Amino acid sequence: MTTRIESLVLDRRAGGAPPSPHGYPLVGALPRMLPDAPRFCTRMMLEYNDLVRLDLGFGSIYLVTLPDHIHHVMVANHDNYWKGDVFERTRFLFGNGLVVNEGESWRRQRHLMQPAFAHRRVAALLPIMAGVVQQRLAAWEAPSAAGQPLEIGREMMSLTLGIIVKTMFSLSIDERELAVMSHCFNTALEQITIRMATYFLPEWFPLPHKRACREAVATLDAMVYRIIKERRESGQDVDDLLGMLLAARDEATGEGMTDLEIRDEVMVTLFGGYEATADALTWTWHLLDEHPAVDETMREEVASVLGGRPPTFEEITRLTYTAQVAQESMRLYPPFWFYNRTARSEDEIGGYRIPAGAQILICPYATHRHPDFWKVPEAFHPERFEPSQVAGRPRHAYVPFGTGQRMCVGRHLAMLELQLILAMVAQRYHPRLAPGCFVVPKVGTSLRAKGGMWMIPDRV
Ligand code: HEM
């Protein structure tokens, strides 16, 4: 008789199906996965240490967590994997913007937009970002003096959204408009979560909150079209992302982008540019509050490199421990805890057969906890990101920004923002969890704290 492990090996040799956990009739493993999908995926990775097929009633998902397998899907054989029906469900917000676009049209747009996010260019934006942060932090003085808690997630969103509109679109939007924008994006994000999770249902299916979402997108559209119109009418040649989009010309026809095409890229940049960065910061404040020794070390670095001044770019590059804190925080709480792909045609991953049309779920939340690459995976140890330790790990053991050709276009901007905001907040405040606030993760397409992360910004 063959043992369980032997039969897995035989399946693999024969290009068979990957291992699959026990499930219930009709719904498969869905009831086990639903209560906490990131943790369930982690358990599957620990149990099988392999590719896993999850049968979920409506269909199967192939869970990819091992670095070699991630490399296969996202880099070595990326042509065979596209974003598929799941991402099609986000078109109501992103249209044909970069994050959804595919093929030659994606390549052209990525080529066009990439220079706006280049490292050197982003570095030059630092003083603008610091100005936004300084202004916002001044508004914390009164709640700080009164010992009043702030929902730190909302505060971080206001900061990162303020930075993105100012750096990429040269706009000064007032607090009220930023709050409306942020509220509308949150409504749309909830709808994205619902639509992605139900991608197998027909478009007409009556999903919850559809009407609120339509209204939110209409409000965002009005804002974005107004931004485009005002810039076109101003005739100004401004050197920012919006300027680049407006100036772009098709090589063959000489035609510029339509307002709709520009709207889609603006929407993707606004959304992609603030939400994930704010989530990363929010979890970082929580982790720092829970780990006073790490918090202390980061504050010492900030004090010794900057004193009380806002940082220059050269100084930011010296905030190495602060960068490691941000990296370690995104290891434990990757803002995108999963991303998905669909197989165009049949393939083989790690010796297992992947049928055409298979749904692939890449789960950084699990990969970032694989004990072969991360000692005591649940512990918060920024030292893991010292260069000598990074060199000893497979490249795809850490993928918060994705990998391969569709890797996050805004990653340099995001890292700079994370360091800048951590340093500037630490210079003035010490956010501490408010009494009575218990942090329970709420899982959607992103990871947030249920009921918000309420913290009191003690003055240092
Ligand atoms: C901590 C912050 C951020 C994280 C963790 C993050 C993560 C990611 C990930 C994982 C992807 C790839 C998704 C996939 O392959 O399916 C991605 C793509 C993308 N990100 Fe980010 N991101 C962050 C910040 C930003 C910022 C600041 C911007 C822009 C201002 C941005 C714009 C984009 C865009 C446009 C794409 C699509 C790229 C393409 O498909 O060519 N992101 N991001």
CATH class of the domain whose range is 4-459? mainly alpha
> In this predicted model, what pLDDT tens digit does every residue of 144-193 receive, in sequence order?
999 999 999 999 999 999 999 999 998 878 888 999 999 999 999 889 98
Q: Which residue CA neighbors atom 1 of ligand 1 most closely?
A: 277
Q: How far is the CA of 276 from the centre of ligand 1 (A)?
A: 8
Q: Output the pLDDT for position 7.
A: 52
Q: Output the pLDDT for position 3.
A: 47
Q: How far is the CA of 6 from the centre of ligand 1 (A)?
A: 40
> In this predicted model, what pLDDT tens digit does every residue of 188-206 receive, in sequence order?
988 998 888 888 888 888 8
Q: Ligand 1: does its nearest atom lie under 6 Å from the Cβ of 84?
A: no
Cβ–Cβ under 8 Å, residues 171 and 231: no
Given ligand 1 and candidates 168, 185, 408, 409, which is best to mutate, with the most ligand atoms within 8 Å of its CB? 408
Q: How far is the CA of 7 from the centre of ligand 1 (A)?
A: 40
Q: Output the pLDDT for position 306.
A: 97
Average pLDDT over residues 363-387: 98
Q: Considering the entire predicted model, what is its pTM?
A: 0.94
Q: Ligand 1: does its nearest atom lie under 6 Å from the Cβ of 99?
A: yes
Give me the torsion for CA of 388, 286, 136, 275, rounded to 10°.
Answer: 80
Paired with 293 in beta bridges are none
* Res. 2 pLDDT band, cuts 50 70 90: very low
Q: What are the residue boundaries of the structural domains of the chain, listed by start? A: 4-459
Q: Ligand 1: does its nearest atom lie under 6 Å from the Cβ of 268?
A: yes
